[in-house]
Amino acid sequence: MRFKTFLLGGCSALMLASMANAETITIATVNNGDMIRMQKLADDFTTKNPDIQLNWVTLEENVLRERVTTDIATKGGQYDVMTIGTYEVPIWAKQQWLLPLDNLGADYDVADIIPAIAGGLSVDGKLYAAPFYGESSFVMYRKDLMEKAGLTMPDAPTWEFIGEAARKMTDRANDINGICLRGKAGWGENMAFLTAMSNSFGARWFDEEWKPQFDQPEWKNTLETYVKLMNDAGPQGASSNGFNENLALFQQGKCGMWIDATVAASFVSNPKDSTVADKVGYALAPDNGLGKRGNWLWAWSLAIPAGTQKADAAQKFVSWATDKAYLDLVASKEGWANVPPGTRTSLYENAEYQKAAPFAKMTLDSINSADPTKPTVKPVPYVGVQFVAIPEFQGLGTTVGQLFSAALAGQMSVDDALKQAQDAATSTMQEGGYIQ
């Protein structure tokens, strides 16, 4: 008995000593479903790495962007791992604000990352962020409501068809909106959707000389189409709805169609969370016959700020959360349909995933069809499909997003919103030295 007690006491002492010596890394992340799932599975990491403890800071998308941007620009040092997107990585890496991910481990297969995704997270051939999930955007729709409307969704619909279908599927008496689209202001919220949509209308943020283009007919056509469609067939209060709000509406059976991130497919098709899981179909993002579809390219990724004092521990965590073994872990707990999509070529070659995820091919096709170097119908001087990869875009994009959200809410006209967007963009580009 004494020997057993001695052993237990010794083990407890060792555990306490290990915990006392553990290094704590702070991870800033977004409150999306895949990230919440990662936190629930993080015991797998701490079991394998008992000398590392995890401190989570989970924030809404717009708040996360503001906090991590402020912290890294001021060298605040609050975070050891940051969840950032395809927009920030090349800009921050060139500022030397991020550490290159060159120590992810012998088993980490960098070459397996989908080239379109890896390219957006690399500078001069070095990976500066590891993709947790990658996405484009496409149409998710209710097959039963489409059939009831007497229509058949094409694999590659036009905006004209989307408008017709949305209006026919709308049933206000039964709280069914024909379409749900982002309206919440933010460069990564409504402007992600509207910029991608505008590409298919032939619009662009700037011409080849960096002159703002909101005074051109292509932008007016984009915004008028969007506002009218949402007024005719969208939910009440749409100007407050972002990704999470529209996801909830769709899962509750209140949307006939939703055009948004391909990553949403696993959530709308999961019977645990979605009341319409067995009724969902998928199609490519719409076009206008001009050669560009309204789909974007994005990756929520894990990066390590250059100011961290815990780079080795942070890199171990990034490797765990983004390697192939993590996909296997999620599949074992949640099923293949719920693994983070859009990052690895091997996932789309996996027969189990193909069987479990009917949206897999459409997701990959959407990712591969988005070209950040040629995002628009006409030539542009910038890179980025649903954003412009310049430092000034974060502030400008949010300002324009606020104007367009106000137009959707009926607080100003489309013409006034576009005029103020043109003025704001012109002032920003003059201050930045892009134009005189």
The letter for the amino acid at 80 is D
Query: By C-alpha distance, which of 149, 137, 93, 94 is closest to 305?
Result: 93
pLDDT bracket for residue 75 (50, 70, 90): confident
Half-sphere exposure of 322 (CA within 13 A, CB side): 33
The letter for the amino acid at 13 is A
Evaluate if residue 2 carries a pLDDT over 80.
no
Q: Which tens digits make up the pLDDT trace of 236-294?
A: 999 999 999 999 999 999 999 999 999 999 999 999 999 999 999 999 999 999 999 99
Q: Do the beta carbons of residue 324 and residue 131 sit within 8 Å?
A: no
CA angle 39, 41, 42 (to 5 degrees): 65
Across the chain, mean pLDDT equals 93
CA separation (Å) from 230 to 44, 86, 245, 379, 420? 44, 28, 15, 30, 21
pLDDT bracket for residue 9 (50, 70, 90): low
Over residues 175-203, mean pLDDT: 97
* Contacting residues for 399 by C-beta, under 8 A, at least 6 apart: 421, 424
Taking residue 289's Cβ as centre, other Cβ atoms within 10 Å add up to 9
Q: Do the beta carbons of residue 62 and residue 189 sit within 8 Å?
A: yes
The predicted pLDDT at position 33 comes to: 87
CA angle 150, 156, 160 (to 5 degrees): 60
Q: What is the pTM of this model?
A: 0.85
Report the DSSP pairing between strands 137-142 and 257-261.
antiparallel
**C-alpha–C-alpha distance, residues 6 and 38, integer Å:** 38
